[in-house]
Structure 1
Amino acid sequence: MTSKLPFELKNSGLFKEKSYVNGNWVESKSGKRFDVIDPGSGKVWASAPDNNADDVDVAVKAAYVAFESYKKTTPKSRAQLLLRWDALIRENRDDIANIVTYETGKPLAESQGELDYALGFTWWFAGEAERVTGTIQTPSVPGRRILTVKQPVGVVAALVPWNFPIAMVLRKAGAALAAGCTLVVKPSPETPLSVLALANLAEQAGFPKGAFNVLTTSLENTPPLSEALCRHPSVKKVTFTGSTRVGKLVAKHCADGLKKLTLELGGNCPFIIFDDADLNQAADALMGLKWRHAGQACITANRVYVQSGVYKAFSDLIAQKTSKLVVGHGSEKSSTMGPVTTPQGLTKAANQVEDARKQGGQIILGGNKIDGKGGYFFEPTIITGAKKEMLITSEETFGPVLALYEFQDEEEAVKAANDTSMGLASYFFTKNVDRTWRLLENLEAGMIGMNTARLGAMSAAESPFGGIKESGYGKESGKDVAINEYLVTKTGTMTLDGHF
């Protein structure tokens, strides 16, 4: 595992600090730029063009012109382009991972793991490109045939978050490009440079000009630029990953144009451990799930429910394992947990811990901001005696704070787990087969982890990803379903000769 300093990254041919539109590296119309902060040091290490709504039309028109020809390419040609892109990303994996670490703060091993996970999407959707098929059937009326064909929907606007910038882009772009669509990607203000690196490699892979465009923007200009993309008449599909609050705004913007829309929104995911569970298995799974990227993942465990018979034993076990985490800058080889990505993450974690303390929760590990490191660091924190009334129960934490709740029986656990407006993922650990089937059916979430919580198991290219309730709608990845989000179905009815 090797890390590079920012100046080394900037001197590589991979690194770009301009937006990418119609095959050109461009500044914003205003000429303004914004700073990119390293959350591990709190210092500026790069900058990017501060595009605003005025920059949207040129990018969308470029994508539309490209779409008119790209949609006519064969599925095999699109698959070959995706495979070339995939190969180039693999060749540059470590440099891209270094960029991700300086943008997000996550340890380098996690950034490399994100690349490995994300590359599953380019590989998978290269295959999906040639698996798009229509249908033909004989209807009830004699002498007729009904045919369906599937065609790309058009220009796609992809609004992606900062916590997994590579994975979220490749999951969306892989499906869209395989289907024959073209894209305008708006990265998060925190992570523009890793996405621009992908654009650089897409150009090298041979994607036509305008097929893959990237508009970077500051936090201030994100709302108007995103709204302009959603409302542009040539954008036919919008895919958004982010908070439920912003997702509702995106849905409103898309409603006037009746855009096809996929929303992958927030989670308040329960993690249930029964008396008969393998506690080491559950604890190891929770360690990987909860502390990855300092708890900043939509599918992370937010509420951990432990049956009373093993509550004390599990609390001690997870505290003992968590105490071994090494918090530090993501580029340091010794670091096993990095900072949160934004200062707001620190504030939210501190507020939830203080609220839990006031309501009788016991802070058995951590609980404080870490000073002296220069970045946005918070101790990995475990709270026991968590209650329904606490903020951490109703709010998605998105930080390194873990709350443990005690329950008596299965009915109580299911009721508590489902007592949220969110429905992204739920996890449980038990060796009871009957209970496993009951929980699969009774837990209200789009994805259920049954004795597993691994990223590559719960979220993989071949597994449909998406939630229910206020965690959004539509699916990303998985066989057939994800690519269908970027296709329209056209029905043809034919009367055979001699039948009228």
Structure 2
Amino acid sequence: MANQALEGGWRQVEAWLQEKLPVQIPPVAWPAIWTALAAIILYIVYSATTSDTPIRYKIPSPKLPEKEEILEKPSIKASGSTAVQCYAPATGQFLGFVNPSTPDAIDRAIDQCQAAQAKWARTTFRQRRHVLSTLLQYVLDNQEEICRIACLDSGKTMVDAQLGEILVTTEKLQWVIKHGEKALKPSRRPTNLLMSYKRNTVVYEPMGVVAALVSWNYPFHNLVGPMISSIFAGNGIVVKVSEQTAWSSQHFTNIVRGALVAHGHDPALVQTIVCWPQTANHITSHPKVSHITFIGSQAVAQKVAASAAKAMIPTCQELGGKDPFIVLDSAAGRLESIAEVILRGTFQASGQNCIGIERVIVTPAIYDRLLGLLVERVRALRLGQDADVGAMISDNRFSQLEGLVGDALLHGARVLAGGKRYNHPDHPKGHYFTPTLVADVTPDMAIAQEECFGPILTIMKAPSNSAEDVLRIANAPNFGLGSAVFGADSDPVLQAVVRGVRAGMVAVNDFAVFYAVQLPFGGVGGSGFGRFAAEEGLRSVCNMKSICEDRFGWLGIRTGIPPPIRYPIKSQPKSWSFARGVVEVGYGIGGAQKAKGLVNILRNS
């Protein structure tokens, strides 16, 4: 009777669900559905019982001046002051002053970080995961405020901040929490015939104090991202932030420090430094800094590398890009959705994105159709923090952008939208550049060679649908960061382009997803070297120590020096023949050569 009542209850639940669902589910499918739901519930329960419960904490919001003031000439440099003048790029609103650090202040920050790291290095991976889980919970609980602060300091829209600050930071936190320990666990390495009595291991140890010099385009993510990797690896970290986003940096640093304090750890483990460029080399050549991650331009990267070389500090350089977005004939049936991707990839953060779309390369058969889908969309984009495209960080590159567009026009390109700075009627002191579309761009034009890093969409027509013609355009600039290729999965041209494009990362039939799944991030050529994110990123801020030890030492099996090669050498010819025999036994190809080597060993022993 109990079974019948239970079965009747399930039937009532199924009937109720069927009324709510928009599709009809056949009766035979219900057992599989209930099984899947049970598995999901069990997984949720398991995760809740096996993971460390995060601690919720609070951080005071940064204070704004009591009286709103719009600067007459918004600039980070204020007349008569050495402090960094902080303001909102979207409106010109004054946010406050930040005093730059002196070399002595930098020394103190590094010393405090070093002292905290000495204790932090003894923590377990579980303790570090717990801190990151707490940090993840804070970010999830305070998404709106983090976005609002990032937008105020950088000029971007709330949607751009949600995607570029929150989504990628929570992804990085989740990945490190789930997979970080596996990436940094000691790994066994193979041996060989001659050394078969040896056991080989590679361990990943903290470096100590590492540094990061980060750009302004993602003030929250670029600051917190290096902190996540560094502290999980057992390091302390000093981050030199851009003067352009100095106002928000201390608050974002306090968010990470709050997670450390919530678990009883020293907040001095993470340090943030604001300083003018002439002082930054005190960090990049500091004898107590063990590794430097730099995010920025080629010109500054050369100075960082030269400074770091003085102290022999290894660097990871993540520089700009001129990313190609390639659309092949076989993608003809999906041009509408591809156009949407192009718009988001080009105008996200007003184009101030190192892996933003810089060049759309389209094959001839679909060029006009795709261009037609984009023109009116670009012209309709609205400027403003509450609109489609936000402000740029400053107006100091507006003349350069206008020059690139003008040069392209003189050399035969068509400017179909924008191309110049924009005087916002509501925010005349804001830094806005009109969303721009330049068609018929050729590889020899400056706009196809130089990184725009602004809201400029350039369209280039490939001579044909061949991989050779497409790659000739895609690989022309001295950059090689990200790339995207669209076409049918079975298209041999697509596969050839994926293999041939000169880039550190390729998204196939998508845009920039390599960063959303924590693959190694970095470029080649003028886009830098080294990788952050994923296993490679975590290991790059570790000392990789190789350990070779005896497998059977307890049996007395250890390396010994055979008589023929002991000092003093009695006979060079016999010693050489003996050593040759050792090489042939160990590395000879085929049994005959190994046997010959064994004879040499025995004959000369």
Q: TM-score, normalised by structure 1?
A: 0.89
Q: What residue is the counterpart of 2:71 in the other structure?
A: none
Distance 1:462 1:494, change over 3 A: same
Q: Aligned runs of 1:259-298 on 2, under 5 Å?
A: 259-277=313-331, 278-298=334-354
C-alpha separation in 2, matches of 1:399 and 1:494: 55
Distance 1:325 1:209, change over 3 A: same
Q: What residue is the counterpart of 1:135 in the other structure?
A: 187
Q: What residue is the counterpart of 1:447 in the other structure?
A: 505
Instruction: Give 1:356's aligned amino acid.
Output: A
Q: Secondary structure at the match of 2:458?
A: strand
Which of 292, 297, 304 is the equivalent residue of 2:360?
A: 304
| Shift of residue 310, structure 1, vs aligned partner | 1.6
1:481 aligns with 2:536: yes
| Shift of residue 300, structure 1, vs aligned partner | 1.1
* CA deviation string 1:439-472 (max 9, x = no partner): 111000011121111x4x2312522211111211
C-alpha separation in 1, matches of 2:88 and 2:200: 57
C-alpha separation in 2, matches of 1:83 and 1:461: 18
Which of 199, 215, 218 is the equivalent residue of 1:145?
A: 199
Q: What residue is the counterpart of 1:347 in the other structure?
A: 399
C-alpha separation in 2, matches of 1:130 and 1:297: 30
Distance 1:15 1:43, change over 3 A: closer
C-alpha separation in 2, matches of 1:231 and 1:482: 22
Q: Secondary structure at the match of 1:493?
A: strand
Which has the larger share of strand? 1
Which of 122, 142, 145 is the equivalent residue of 2:173?
A: 122
Q: Secondary structure at the match of 2:329?
A: coil
Instruction: Give 1:397's aligned amino acid.
Output: C
Instruction: Give 1:211's aligned amino acid.
Output: L
Instruction: Give 2:140's aligned amino acid.
Output: R
| Shift of residue 46, structure 1, vs aligned partner | 2.5
Aligned length: 465
C-alpha separation in 2, matches of 1:90 and 1:49: 31
1:491 aligns with 2:546: yes
8 A contact 1:162–1:188 mirrored in 2? yes
Q: What residue is the counterpart of 2:431 in the other structure?
A: 376
8 A contact 2:470–2:497 mirrored in 1? no
1:51 aligns with 2:101: yes
| Shift of residue 32, structure 1, vs aligned partner | 5.1
| Shift of residue 296, structure 1, vs aligned partner | 0.7
Instruction: Give 1:417's aligned amino acid.
Output: A
8 A contact 2:95–2:247 mirrored in 1? no
| Shift of residue 59, structure 1, vs aligned partner | 0.8
C-alpha separation in 1, matches of 2:539 and 2:420: 46
| Shift of residue 392, structure 1, vs aligned partner | 0.7
| Shift of residue 337, structure 1, vs aligned partner | 0.4
8 A contact 2:481–2:504 mirrored in 1? yes
* CA deviation string 1:284-342 (max 9, x = no partner): 110110010111111111121111112211111111222232111x1x3xx11011111
Q: Secondary structure at the match of 2:243?
A: coil
Q: Secondary structure at the match of 1:198?
A: helix
8 A contact 1:340–1:346 mirrored in 2? no
C-alpha separation in 2, matches of 1:345 and 1:43: 20
Q: What residue is the counterpart of 1:199 in the other structure?
A: 253
C-alpha separation in 2, matches of 1:40 and 1:16: 18
1:365 aligns with 2:417: yes
* CA deviation string 1:121-142 (max 9, x = no partner): 1222223442221134555325
Q: What residue is the counterpart of 1:391 in the other structure?
A: 446
* Greater alpha carbon shift after TM alignment, 488-497 vs 438-447: 488-497
| Shift of residue 152, structure 1, vs aligned partner | 0.8
Q: Secondary structure at the match of 1:72?
A: coil
Instruction: Give 2:479's aligned amino acid.
Output: M
* CA deviation string 1:49-68 (max 9, x = no partner): 22233321111111111111
Q: Secondary structure at the match of 2:330?
A: coil
* CA deviation string 1:131-170 (max 9, x = no partner): 2211345553253323332101111111111111222223
C-alpha separation in 2, matches of 1:311 and 1:143: 64
Q: Per chain length, whose mean CA-contact separation is higher, i.e. which structure has more relative contact order (CA < 8 Å, sep 6+)? A: 1
* Greater alpha carbon shift after TM alignment, 48-57 vs 160-169: 48-57
Q: Secondary structure at the match of 1:213?
A: strand
* CA deviation string 1:185-220 (max 9, x = no partner): 111111123332222122221241321111123xxx
Instruction: Give 2:301's aligned amino acid.
Output: G
Which of 107, 118, 136 is the equivalent residue of 1:86?
A: 136
* CA deviation string 1:94-122 (max 9, x = no partner): 11111111111111121122212222112
Instruction: Give 1:322's aligned amino acid.
Output: V
Q: What residue is the counterpart of 1:247 in the other structure?
A: 301
8 A contact 1:160–1:242 mirrored in 2? yes
Runs of 4+ aligned residues of structure 1 deviating over 6 Å after TM superposition are none
* Greater alpha carbon shift after TM alignment, 340-349 vs 73-82: 340-349
* CA deviation string 1:24-77 (max 9, x = no partner): xxxxxxx95321121111232232222233321111111111111111111111
Distance 1:16 1:246, change over 3 A: farther
* CA deviation string 1:226-277 (max 9, x = no partner): 2111111110010011111211221111112221211111101111112221
Which of 236, 240, 256 is the equivalent residue of 1:182?
A: 236
8 A contact 1:16–1:196 mirrored in 2? no
8 A contact 2:390–2:432 mirrored in 1? yes
Q: TM-score, normalised by structure 2?
A: 0.74
C-alpha separation in 2, matches of 1:194 and 1:80: 25
Which of 268, 273, 282 is the equivalent residue of 1:215?
A: 273
* CA deviation string 1:391-450 (max 9, x = no partner): 211110011111111112222111111011110011121115322221111000011121
8 A contact 1:14–1:200 mirrored in 2? no
Instruction: Give 1:56's aligned amino acid.
Output: I
C-alpha separation in 2, matches of 1:187 and 1:250: 14
* Greater alpha carbon shift after TM alignment, 266-275 vs 43-52: 43-52
Instruction: Give 1:338's aligned amino acid.
Output: G
C-alpha separation in 1, matches of 2:419 and 2:267: 50
Q: Secondary structure at the match of 2:212?
A: strand
Which has the larger share of helix? 2
Q: What residue is the counterpart of 1:426 in the other structure?
A: 483
Instruction: Give 1:122's aligned amino acid.
Output: L
Q: Secondary structure at the match of 1:259?
A: coil
C-alpha separation in 2, matches of 1:148 and 1:315: 53
C-alpha separation in 2, matches of 1:433 and 1:309: 16
8 A contact 1:289–1:301 mirrored in 2? yes
C-alpha separation in 1, matches of 2:240 and 2:325: 33
8 A contact 1:128–1:178 mirrored in 2? no
Instruction: Give 2:61's aligned amino acid.
Output: L
Instruction: Give 2:206's aligned amino acid.
Output: P
Distance 1:80 1:384, change over 3 A: same
C-alpha separation in 1, matches of 2:145 and 2:91: 19
C-alpha separation in 2, matches of 1:128 and 1:253: 34
C-alpha separation in 1, matches of 2:481 and 2:361: 17
C-alpha separation in 2, matches of 1:110 and 1:231: 35
Q: What residue is the counterpart of 2:577 in the other structure?
A: none
8 A contact 2:330–2:491 mirrored in 1? no
Structure 1, unmatched stretches of 5+, are 1-11, 18-30
Q: Secondary structure at the match of 1:343?
A: coil
* CA deviation string 1:324-382 (max 9, x = no partner): 32111x1x3xx110111111232222111111122222111112221243211111111
Which of 150, 165, 170 is the equivalent residue of 1:100?
A: 150
Instruction: Give 1:396's aligned amino acid.
Output: E
